[in-house]
Amino acid sequence: MQKALIFKEWVKTRMVFFISLALAVCVALYAVLMMKRLVELKGMDHLWLIMLLKDNTFIDIIKYVPLVVGVAVAVAQMAPEMVQKRLKLTLHLPYPQRRLISLMLMTGMVELFVIYLVQGLIIFIYDASIMPSEMSLRVMLTTLPWYFAGFTAYLFVTSICLEGTWGRRIVLALLAVAVLMIFFLQPVPEAYNAVIWLMILFVFLLTIFSFGSVVRFKEGRQD
Protein backbone atom coordinates (compact mmCIF):
# COMPACT_ATOMS: atom_id res chain seq x y z
CA MET A 1 0.00 0.00 0.00
CA GLN A 2 2.77 2.42 0.94
CA LYS A 3 4.61 1.95 -2.36
CA ALA A 4 1.35 2.41 -4.26
CA LEU A 5 0.64 5.67 -2.42
CA ILE A 6 4.13 7.00 -3.10
CA PHE A 7 3.77 6.09 -6.77
CA LYS A 8 0.41 7.90 -6.87
CA GLU A 9 2.05 11.08 -5.57
CA TRP A 10 4.94 10.67 -8.01
CA VAL A 11 2.57 10.36 -10.97
CA LYS A 12 0.96 13.68 -10.03
CA THR A 13 4.22 15.57 -9.59
CA ARG A 14 6.77 13.97 -11.92
CA MET A 15 6.33 16.44 -14.78
CA VAL A 16 6.59 19.45 -12.47
CA PHE A 17 9.52 17.78 -10.70
CA PHE A 18 11.58 17.43 -13.88
CA ILE A 19 10.67 20.93 -15.10
CA SER A 20 11.61 22.37 -11.70
CA LEU A 21 14.84 20.39 -11.64
CA ALA A 22 15.75 21.68 -15.10
CA LEU A 23 14.97 25.25 -14.01
CA ALA A 24 17.06 24.93 -10.85
CA VAL A 25 20.00 23.45 -12.75
CA CYS A 26 19.85 26.07 -15.51
CA VAL A 27 19.77 28.96 -13.04
CA ALA A 28 22.64 27.47 -11.04
CA LEU A 29 24.72 26.98 -14.19
CA TYR A 30 23.99 30.56 -15.22
CA ALA A 31 25.23 31.82 -11.85
CA VAL A 32 28.37 29.71 -12.22
CA LEU A 33 28.97 30.98 -15.77
CA MET A 34 28.63 34.59 -14.59
CA MET A 35 31.29 34.01 -11.93
CA LYS A 36 33.51 32.20 -14.40
CA ARG A 37 33.16 35.06 -16.87
CA LEU A 38 34.10 37.61 -14.21
CA VAL A 39 37.17 35.60 -13.25
CA GLU A 40 38.25 35.41 -16.90
CA LEU A 41 37.83 39.16 -17.40
CA LYS A 42 39.02 40.60 -14.08
CA GLY A 43 40.85 37.76 -12.36
CA MET A 44 40.28 35.74 -9.20
CA ASP A 45 41.48 38.52 -6.90
CA HIS A 46 38.77 40.85 -8.19
CA LEU A 47 36.08 38.24 -7.46
CA TRP A 48 37.30 37.73 -3.92
CA LEU A 49 37.48 41.48 -3.27
CA ILE A 50 33.89 41.98 -4.36
CA MET A 51 32.74 39.08 -2.20
CA LEU A 52 34.59 40.31 0.88
CA LEU A 53 34.20 44.08 0.58
CA LYS A 54 30.76 44.35 -0.99
CA ASP A 55 29.12 41.25 0.54
CA ASN A 56 28.30 39.94 -2.93
CA THR A 57 27.91 36.17 -3.23
CA PHE A 58 27.02 36.23 -6.96
CA ILE A 59 24.06 33.91 -6.41
CA ASP A 60 21.19 36.38 -6.03
CA ILE A 61 19.76 35.04 -9.28
CA ILE A 62 18.72 31.80 -7.53
CA LYS A 63 17.05 33.66 -4.66
CA TYR A 64 13.42 33.02 -5.58
CA VAL A 65 13.84 29.75 -7.48
CA PRO A 66 13.31 27.52 -4.40
CA LEU A 67 10.15 29.48 -3.58
CA VAL A 68 8.73 29.04 -7.08
CA VAL A 69 9.63 25.35 -7.10
CA GLY A 70 8.02 24.77 -3.71
CA VAL A 71 4.76 26.38 -4.83
CA ALA A 72 4.75 24.48 -8.14
CA VAL A 73 5.26 21.06 -6.54
CA ALA A 74 2.59 21.74 -3.91
CA VAL A 75 0.01 22.81 -6.50
CA ALA A 76 0.79 19.84 -8.76
CA GLN A 77 0.49 17.44 -5.85
CA MET A 78 -2.46 18.81 -3.88
CA ALA A 79 -4.66 20.78 -6.27
CA PRO A 80 -5.96 17.63 -8.05
CA GLU A 81 -7.03 16.23 -4.67
CA MET A 82 -9.50 19.11 -4.30
CA VAL A 83 -10.36 20.09 -7.89
CA GLN A 84 -10.99 16.50 -8.97
CA LYS A 85 -12.56 15.53 -5.63
CA ARG A 86 -9.92 12.87 -4.97
CA LEU A 87 -9.24 13.70 -1.33
CA LYS A 88 -12.44 12.16 0.02
CA LEU A 89 -11.66 8.91 -1.80
CA THR A 90 -8.04 9.02 -0.66
CA LEU A 91 -9.06 9.41 2.98
CA HIS A 92 -11.25 6.29 2.72
CA LEU A 93 -8.32 4.08 1.77
CA PRO A 94 -7.51 1.30 4.29
CA TYR A 95 -4.49 3.21 5.58
CA PRO A 96 -4.07 5.29 8.77
CA GLN A 97 -5.00 8.92 8.04
CA ARG A 98 -2.00 10.51 9.76
CA ARG A 99 0.43 8.19 8.04
CA LEU A 100 -1.31 8.86 4.73
CA ILE A 101 -0.95 12.64 5.00
CA SER A 102 2.60 12.25 6.32
CA LEU A 103 3.46 10.11 3.31
CA MET A 104 2.01 12.68 0.90
CA LEU A 105 3.95 15.51 2.53
CA MET A 106 7.13 13.45 2.76
CA THR A 107 6.98 12.64 -0.96
CA GLY A 108 6.74 16.31 -1.89
CA MET A 109 9.45 17.33 0.59
CA VAL A 110 11.84 14.68 -0.72
CA GLU A 111 11.31 15.88 -4.28
CA LEU A 112 12.10 19.44 -3.19
CA PHE A 113 15.15 18.26 -1.27
CA VAL A 114 16.52 16.52 -4.37
CA ILE A 115 16.01 19.63 -6.51
CA TYR A 116 17.59 21.94 -3.95
CA LEU A 117 20.47 19.55 -3.30
CA VAL A 118 21.35 19.31 -7.00
CA GLN A 119 21.26 23.08 -7.40
CA GLY A 120 23.28 23.65 -4.23
CA LEU A 121 25.91 21.09 -5.24
CA ILE A 122 26.43 22.75 -8.63
CA ILE A 123 27.16 26.07 -6.95
CA PHE A 124 29.20 24.60 -4.11
CA ILE A 125 31.40 22.42 -6.33
CA TYR A 126 32.31 25.38 -8.53
CA ASP A 127 32.86 27.75 -5.61
CA ALA A 128 35.01 25.20 -3.79
CA SER A 129 37.20 24.89 -6.88
CA ILE A 130 38.03 28.61 -7.07
CA MET A 131 37.92 29.93 -3.51
CA PRO A 132 38.81 28.95 0.07
CA SER A 133 36.44 26.63 1.90
CA GLU A 134 35.41 29.44 4.28
CA MET A 135 34.14 31.54 1.38
CA SER A 136 32.33 28.71 -0.38
CA LEU A 137 30.70 27.74 2.93
CA ARG A 138 29.65 31.36 3.38
CA VAL A 139 27.88 31.24 0.02
CA MET A 140 26.01 28.06 0.89
CA LEU A 141 24.94 29.33 4.31
CA THR A 142 23.56 32.40 2.57
CA THR A 143 21.35 30.20 0.38
CA LEU A 144 19.87 28.16 3.24
CA PRO A 145 17.07 30.64 4.12
CA TRP A 146 15.98 30.60 0.47
CA TYR A 147 15.71 26.82 0.47
CA PHE A 148 13.83 26.88 3.76
CA ALA A 149 11.51 29.41 2.13
CA GLY A 150 10.85 26.82 -0.57
CA PHE A 151 9.89 24.17 1.99
CA THR A 152 7.78 26.72 3.86
CA ALA A 153 5.96 27.75 0.68
CA TYR A 154 5.30 24.09 -0.14
CA LEU A 155 3.73 23.41 3.25
CA PHE A 156 1.63 26.56 3.22
CA VAL A 157 0.32 25.86 -0.29
CA THR A 158 -0.50 22.24 0.58
CA SER A 159 -2.51 23.40 3.58
CA ILE A 160 -4.30 25.99 1.43
CA CYS A 161 -5.11 23.41 -1.27
CA LEU A 162 -6.39 20.90 1.28
CA GLU A 163 -8.45 23.48 3.18
CA GLY A 164 -12.16 23.31 2.40
CA THR A 165 -13.25 26.84 3.34
CA TRP A 166 -12.33 30.00 1.46
CA GLY A 167 -12.16 32.11 4.59
CA ARG A 168 -9.44 29.96 6.11
CA ARG A 169 -7.66 29.72 2.76
CA ILE A 170 -7.40 33.52 2.63
CA VAL A 171 -6.08 33.64 6.20
CA LEU A 172 -3.47 30.97 5.41
CA ALA A 173 -2.45 32.77 2.21
CA LEU A 174 -1.96 36.09 4.04
CA LEU A 175 -0.01 34.34 6.79
CA ALA A 176 2.13 32.61 4.16
CA VAL A 177 3.02 35.91 2.48
CA ALA A 178 3.94 37.50 5.81
CA VAL A 179 6.09 34.55 6.89
CA LEU A 180 7.82 34.09 3.53
CA MET A 181 8.88 37.73 3.43
CA ILE A 182 10.99 37.09 6.53
CA PHE A 183 13.21 34.64 4.66
CA PHE A 184 14.28 37.32 2.16
CA LEU A 185 15.09 40.21 4.51
CA GLN A 186 18.72 39.30 5.19
CA PRO A 187 20.78 42.48 4.55
CA VAL A 188 24.14 40.69 4.30
CA PRO A 189 25.33 37.12 3.61
CA GLU A 190 24.93 34.69 6.53
CA ALA A 191 22.60 37.09 8.33
CA TYR A 192 20.35 34.20 9.41
CA ASN A 193 23.04 31.82 10.66
CA ALA A 194 21.95 32.21 14.28
CA VAL A 195 18.37 31.12 13.53
CA ILE A 196 18.95 28.23 11.11
CA TRP A 197 17.83 25.67 13.69
CA LEU A 198 14.69 27.70 14.38
CA MET A 199 13.93 27.61 10.65
CA ILE A 200 14.24 23.82 10.60
CA LEU A 201 11.91 23.54 13.61
CA PHE A 202 9.46 25.97 12.03
CA VAL A 203 9.28 23.95 8.81
CA PHE A 204 8.40 20.79 10.74
CA LEU A 205 5.78 22.64 12.79
CA LEU A 206 4.13 23.91 9.62
CA THR A 207 2.92 20.39 8.84
CA ILE A 208 0.29 21.01 11.53
CA PHE A 209 -1.58 23.27 9.11
CA SER A 210 -1.87 20.50 6.51
CA PHE A 211 -3.10 17.98 9.07
CA GLY A 212 -5.55 20.57 10.39
CA SER A 213 -6.93 21.25 6.91
CA VAL A 214 -7.51 17.53 6.34
CA VAL A 215 -9.25 17.14 9.70
CA ARG A 216 -11.53 20.08 8.92
CA PHE A 217 -12.27 18.64 5.46
CA LYS A 218 -13.15 15.25 6.93
CA GLU A 219 -15.48 16.96 9.41
CA GLY A 220 -17.34 18.45 6.46
CA ARG A 221 -16.17 22.04 6.82
CA GLN A 222 -16.33 23.00 3.16
CA ASP A 223 -17.76 25.89 1.15
Question: CB of 65 within 8 A of CB of 24?
Answer: yes
Question: CB of 189 within 8 A of CB of 139?
Answer: yes
Chain segment 66-122, per-residue pLDDT in tens: 999 999 999 999 888 776 566 666 666 677 778 888 888 999 999 999 999 999 999
Q: What is the pLDDT of residue 1?
A: 72
Domains in the chain: boundaries:
2-218
Q: What is the pLDDT of residue 214?
A: 78
The pTM (predicted TM-score) of the whole model is 0.92
CA distances from 5 to 1, 89, 106, 107 (A): 6, 13, 11, 10
Q: What is the pLDDT of residue 21?
A: 98
> 22 versus 60: which is more confidently predicted?
22
CA distances from 105 to 2, 10, 72, 89, 140 (A): 13, 12, 14, 17, 25
Q: Evaluate if residue 148 carries a pLDDT over 80.
A: yes
Looking at the chain, the whole-number percentage of residues with pLDDT higher than 70 is 92
